[in-house]
Structure 1
Amino acid sequence: MTDLVTWAELCGSLAAIGGAAYARHAYPAAYWSTVGLPLAVARLLASYSSTMDACGLTVEPSRWRALAVRATTRREVRPVPPRRGVIRPTTTGLRMRLRLAPGQEPADVAASAERLRHAWGVHAVHVRDVKPGVVELRLVGFDVLRKVQMPRRLDGGPLQIPVALREDATAFVRDYRTVPHELVLGATLSGKSMYLRNLLTGLAAQPVVLVGIDCKRGVELAPFAPRLSALATDPDQAAELLPALVKEMEDRYDLIKARQGIAPGTPKELITSDIWGLPEGERPAPIVLFIDEVAELFLVATRKEEERRDEMVTQLIRLAQLGRAAGIYLEVCGQRFGAELGKGATMLRAQLTGRVCHRVNDEASAKMALGDIAPEAVLAACAIAPELPGLAVVGDTSGGWSRIRTPYLSLADAAAICRATADLAPDVPALDPFRPYVAPMPVEASGLVATARPVTE
C-alpha cells in the first residue's frame, strides 16, 4: 500500500511538471497567471535590495538616516536602493514604480533592465519615465509577440487606431493627429499588408474619407472598395487622382483663411490654423491616402512617363508638407524607399514622420526607414525572422523605437468590415469621378435564399 501511494505521488508530481511545461509553451498567459506570477513576485520581494545593489542602483544613505541606523541598531550602514511602490500584477506581467534616489536618473535603471530580467526570471523589463524622480518598471512574463492578443481595454478616439501590440504588452496606437504621415517598409510576406489591413479596417469604422493608390492593379486595396471614396489602380489613374487631392487641399485652405478673416472682436477660440479649429458643421472630413507599393509611382521607362512621375512626386510632396492642416494624411507603403527611386524620393521620405519597418531583404532598406531617426533600431529590424510575419520595428523622430506585431486579420473579414461600414464614407464631390465600382452582392452571399418556382400561364 505504501508503494502504491509513493508511485501515485511520483506520477502526480511528474504529471504536474509536464502539464506546467506544456502550458508554458502552448498557453503562456495561463501559465503566467497560475505559476509564473507567484514565482516572479517571490523572487522580486526576496532579492530586491541585493539585486539593486548588484546592478549599481543603490546610493549612500543620507547623513540623518545613517545616524539613526547607528543609534538604534548599531549595524553597518548599507547603501539604499530606490524606494519601491506597490506591485500591480497584470495578465502579461507586473508593473511597479520606483522613486529614484538622489543622483539617479531613468537611464541608470534602463541600462540595468537586462540584468533585472535575469535576476527576477521574466521575459523582459521595460522602463518608462513617469515624472521627475519616478519611473515605472513593466515586467513582461512571456513573449507577447509570439501569439498576439490585443488588450481588452483599448484607448482610441478620432483618427486613433490601435493597430498592433508592443513588446511591453501595450497597444501601439496609430494617431494621425500626432503623427500625420507614415512610411511602412517591408519585404514580400513580411506582414506589411496585414498592418495596412488592420489600419484600414480601424479607420473604416470612423467618418474618415479613405483614398487608395494601388498600382498592382488593385490586388491589395480593391477588396476594400465598398469603403473607399477613391481608388487608382495604375499610374495613369494616380496621375489624375493626385491633382484632385491637391485641389481639395487648396479648397480647404481657402475655408481656413475665410475663418481667419473674421472681425477683430471675434473670440480667440474661433480663430484657427487648421480644420480642427473650424466649427463642427463647417469642418470637412479628414482624408487618409493609402499608397501601396510607392515604387510603382517612381519607376519610368520613357521620357513621357518621367514627366508624369515628376508631376506626381511634386504633388505627393505638397500633400506631405501642407496636408496636415487640411486634414489630409499619408500612409506610404513599399519594399524600398531610397534615393535610387528618383528625384524627390528623399524629400518625400523626410516628410513622413512615422516609420514602420518590417522584415527587409538588406540592411540598406532598414536604414532607409530608421537610419535617420533611430539608428539603434536598424539592427533590430535586420534581426526579424521570416517565420514571424507581422513583426516590425516602429520609430519616430524623437529617437524612440520599439517592436510591434499586428494581429492576424483575414482578407475576407477585412472586406466584410468595409462592406458593413460603407455607409460611413463621407461625401466628397471632388472624388466622385474616382469612386471604385462595387459589384452587387449575390443573393446567396447576402443571406437570402432564392426558391425556384414553376412559371404558370
Structure 2
Amino acid sequence: MGNSRWVDPAPLEVARPRLPWWTMLPRWVKLVLLPLALAVVVVWVLAKVVRVVWFYPVSVALGLVTLLLRAWAGPWVFGAVVAAAAVVLFVWWWRDKTTFDVWLRWPRTEFRRVAVYAYQWRTVVRLSSLTASAKGREYLPRLRRTRSEGWRDRVRVRMVKGQAPEQWEARASGLAHAFGSQSCRVRVIRPGVIELDLVHSNPLASAVALPAMGSESAVDLRRVVVGRTETGKPWRLRLLGNHLLTVGVSGAGKGSLLWSVVWALAPLVKAGAVRLVGIDPKGGMELGQVPEIFDRVVYDNGEAAVTLLEEVAADVRKRAATYRGVRRLWARETGEPFTLLVVDELADLIAYQTDKRLRERAQAALQTITSQGRAPGFGVLAFVQDPRKEVVPFRNLFPTRVAMRLDEAVQVDMVLGDGLRARGANAHEISESTPGVAWIKVDGHRDPVRARAFHVTDTNLVELRHYITGGSAIIVPFPDAGPHEGAAA
C-alpha cells in the first residue's frame, strides 16, 4: 500500500439542459401571453380537424352516425342495422358491380389514402430521394388529394421547392412498386403540383365493340370516334387539318385503327363528302378487302403508286390556289370532298423502294401533301412498322402520332417525342393479347393518351362494303370468331 498513488477521478461531464426560451420570461409576461398561446393551440387543433374532415368526409360522417346510433339504439339494434347494411352492400355488388364501384368511390378513396399512401408516405419519399434538406431541416413533398377510380389511383402531390417533375418521372418505377401498382405516370397539374397516376389494372384488356353505323350529320371530321380511352371516354381523332402517323409491329392492330376510321367516315363517303385514296404496297392484303369504297387504290410501290401520290399533290396545290384569298380552311360547303390518303406501309414507298428516282418522287409528293394539304382539305393516314428517322425522315409533318406495340423502348421517343416514355407511354410493353391498344401524342398537348381502337371483324368489313356501295347481302358471321380472330389487324 505504501507504493500506491492517489489518482484524481475523471471529471463528471453532465450535459447542460437547454430550456425553452419562454421559461426564462417573467411570470407576468407568461400570464399575459397565456391566452394567446391557448388561442394558437385551439386554432391548430381546429385546422387539424378541418383537414381530417376535408380529406375523409365519408369516414367522419360514418363514424358520427355509428356513435349516435350505438348510443341511441343500443347494441342489439346497432348490430342488426350493421348486418342489414352488409347484406345490402353484398347484394348490390353482386347484381350491379358498375354502379357499386361508382357509388363507393369515396369510401374506397379514403381507405386507400390512409392504408396505402399516408401510412408509408414519409418512408417512400425518403427512400426514393425525393426529400430535401436545408439548415438541418428536412422538407418532404406533401400528400394532397387522392382519387381512387378502381383501375387507378390519382394522387396529387405538392413538390418540395426547387423540385422538377422530371425527378419524379425518373423514380416512377420505384414509386409504382412501393405502392403496389403496375405503373406510375407523372402529370403536371400546375406549377409546383403534380399528379401521380398509379395504375392497378388494365381497363383496355377486353376488345372494344364496334358501334352501329352512325348518321351523316353525326360525323364530325374534327372529332372522329375510333375507339375508347382507358378512362372510358371515346377516343376521338381529328382528321380535318391533320395528318396521322401510326407505328406498330406486325399484329399490333394497325388495321383495327384503319378500319375504325373508315367505319366512322362511311356515311360521308357514301354521301360523297369524303374521298378515300389508298396505297397498299403489300399487294392489297389490307385495302384489297374492300376496294370498292376507295376512289383510287394501288396495290404496289412502283410507278402507279408514285403517280397517284403526285396526282394528289397536284390536287393539293390546285385547291390551295383556289382557296387563296377566299377561305383559310376546307369546309363541306365548298362542294369538294375531303380527301383522305391511306398508306398501309409507308416505308415501302419512301425507304424500301430500290429505284432511287421513284423513291425521291414519292418523298417529294408526300412532303407536299403533308406540308400543304391540311388547310385545303387533305389528310394522310399512314402506317409503318419501323419508326427510324432514315425510314420516315419527315415525322414532324404528322401532328398526331400513334404508337401501338413496339419492339424496343427507344422507339417510343422516336414515335411520340423525347421524354414521352419517361411520362409513362410504355408502348413497348403493350401485350400481344391486346391488339389495337396504342399511345397517342397530339402536338400542343404535353401528356400522351392511352386508348384502344374498335374491334373490326371481317363480317364488319362486308357490312361496310355494302353500306357504302348500296349493295345487299346476307351477312353470315364467321364461325368461332373469338375476340382476336377474323379481325382487321
How big is the shift at 1:44? 0.8
| TM-score with structure 2 setting the length | 0.58
Matched residue, 1:42: 111
Matched residue, 2:250: 188
Q: 2:394 aligns with which of 340, 348, 355?
A: 348
Matched residue, 2:222: 159
Paired residues of 1:140 and 1:169 also in contact (CA < 8 A): no
Q: Distance in 2 between matches of 1:300 and 1:158?
A: 33
Q: Distance in 1 between matches of 2:418 and 2:299?
A: 31
Paired residues of 1:317 and 1:347 also in contact (CA < 8 A): no
Identity of aligned residues (%): 23
What do the CA deviations read for 1:268-316 (whole angstroms, capped 9, x no partner)?
xxxx5x325x7x6337443221101223334446xxx543443232211
Verify: 1:286 aligned to 2:338, yes or no.
Answer: yes
Verify: 1:146 aligned to 2:205, yes or no.
Answer: yes
What do the CA deviations read for 1:100-140 (whole angstroms, capped 9, x no partner)?
67656555665665566456555544443334455445454
How big is the shift at 1:249? 1.0
How big is the shift at 1:143? 1.6
How big is the shift at 1:184? 1.9
Q: Distance in 2 between matches of 1:226 and 1:91?
A: 45
Q: Distance in 2 between matches of 1:168 and 1:296?
A: 36
Q: Distance in 2 between matches of 1:163 and 1:337?
A: 23
Verify: 1:222 aligned to 2:288, yes or no.
Answer: yes
Q: Secondary structure at the match of 2:376?
A: coil
Paired residues of 1:211 and 1:287 also in contact (CA < 8 A): yes
Q: 1:325 aligns with which of 375, 389, 397?
A: 375
Matched residue type, 1:195: L
How big is the shift at 1:161? 3.0
- Number of aligned residue pairs: give it: 365
Q: 1:175 aligns with which of 226, 229, 238?
A: 238
Q: Distance in 2 between matches of 1:120 and 1:337?
A: 34
Q: Secondary structure at the match of 2:249?
A: coil
Q: Secondary structure at the match of 2:333?
A: coil
Verify: 1:243 aligned to 2:310, yes or no.
Answer: yes
What do the CA deviations read for 1:139-176 (whole angstroms, capped 9, x no partner)?
544222322559x9xx9953323434555666543223
Question: 281-290 or 169-178: which moved more?
Answer: 169-178
Paired residues of 2:228 and 2:234 also in contact (CA < 8 A): yes
Paired residues of 1:292 and 1:334 also in contact (CA < 8 A): yes
With over 3 angstroms needed to count, the CA separation of the structure-2 counterparts of 1:79 and 1:102, relative to structure 1, is closer
What do the CA deviations read for 1:334-365 (whole angstroms, capped 9, x no partner)?
2235576xxxx543334234333333456787
How big is the shift at 1:318? 0.9
Matched residue type, 2:259: R
Q: Distance in 2 between matches of 1:30 and 1:58?
A: 40
Matched residue type, 1:242: L
Which structure is richer in relative contact order (CA contacts within 8 A, separation 6 or more)?
1
Matched residue, 2:362: 312
Question: 99-108 or 308-317: which moved more?
Answer: 99-108
Matched residue, 1:6: none
Paired residues of 1:227 and 1:418 also in contact (CA < 8 A): yes
How big is the shift at 1:217? 3.2
With over 3 angstroms needed to count, the CA separation of the structure-2 counterparts of 1:210 and 1:136, relative to structure 1, is farther
| TM-score with structure 1 setting the length | 0.62
Paired residues of 1:82 and 1:100 also in contact (CA < 8 A): yes
How big is the shift at 1:395? 4.2
Q: Which runs of 5 or more residues in structure 1 are unaligned?
A: 1-19, 61-76, 260-271, 423-437, 447-457
With over 3 angstroms needed to count, the CA separation of the structure-2 counterparts of 1:159 and 1:204, relative to structure 1, is farther
Q: Secondary structure at the match of 2:334?
A: coil
With over 3 angstroms needed to count, the CA separation of the structure-2 counterparts of 1:164 and 1:37, relative to structure 1, is farther
Q: Secondary structure at the match of 1:275?
A: coil
Q: Distance in 2 between matches of 1:251 and 1:41?
A: 61
Paired residues of 1:377 and 1:393 also in contact (CA < 8 A): no
Matched residue, 2:349: 297
With over 3 angstroms needed to count, the CA separation of the structure-2 counterparts of 1:394 and 1:47, relative to structure 1, is closer
Q: Distance in 1 between matches of 2:464 and 2:311?
A: 27
Matched residue, 2:73: none
Matched residue, 1:406: 453
With over 3 angstroms needed to count, the CA separation of the structure-2 counterparts of 1:132 and 1:209, relative to structure 1, is farther
Paired residues of 1:366 and 1:378 also in contact (CA < 8 A): no
What do the CA deviations read for 1:62-101 (whole angstroms, capped 9, x no partner)?
xxxxxxxxxxxxxxx997864734x555464455655667
Q: 1:252 aligns with which of 300, 308, 319?
A: 319
Q: Which has the larger radius of gyration?
A: 2
Q: Secondary structure at the match of 2:383?
A: strand
Question: 242-251 or 349-358: which moved more?
Answer: 349-358
With over 3 angstroms needed to count, the CA separation of the structure-2 counterparts of 1:375 and 1:38, relative to structure 1, is closer
Q: Distance in 1 between matches of 2:358 and 2:166?
A: 50
Alignment of 1:351-366 (within 5 A): 351-360=397-406
With over 3 angstroms needed to count, the CA separation of the structure-2 counterparts of 1:335 and 1:59, relative to structure 1, is closer
What do the CA deviations read for 1:194-232 (whole angstroms, capped 9, x no partner)?
222223223335553332212333331233445433322
Q: Secondary structure at the match of 1:336?
A: coil
Q: Distance in 2 between matches of 1:202 and 1:48?
A: 43
Q: Distance in 2 between matches of 1:101 and 1:231?
A: 58
Q: Secondary structure at the match of 2:283?
A: coil
Q: Distance in 2 between matches of 1:106 and 1:168?
A: 23
Paired residues of 2:240 and 2:379 also in contact (CA < 8 A): no
Question: 225-234 or 192-201: which moved more?
Answer: 225-234
How big is the shift at 1:383? 3.9
Matched residue, 1:202: 264
Matched residue type, 1:218: G
How big is the shift at 1:182? 2.6
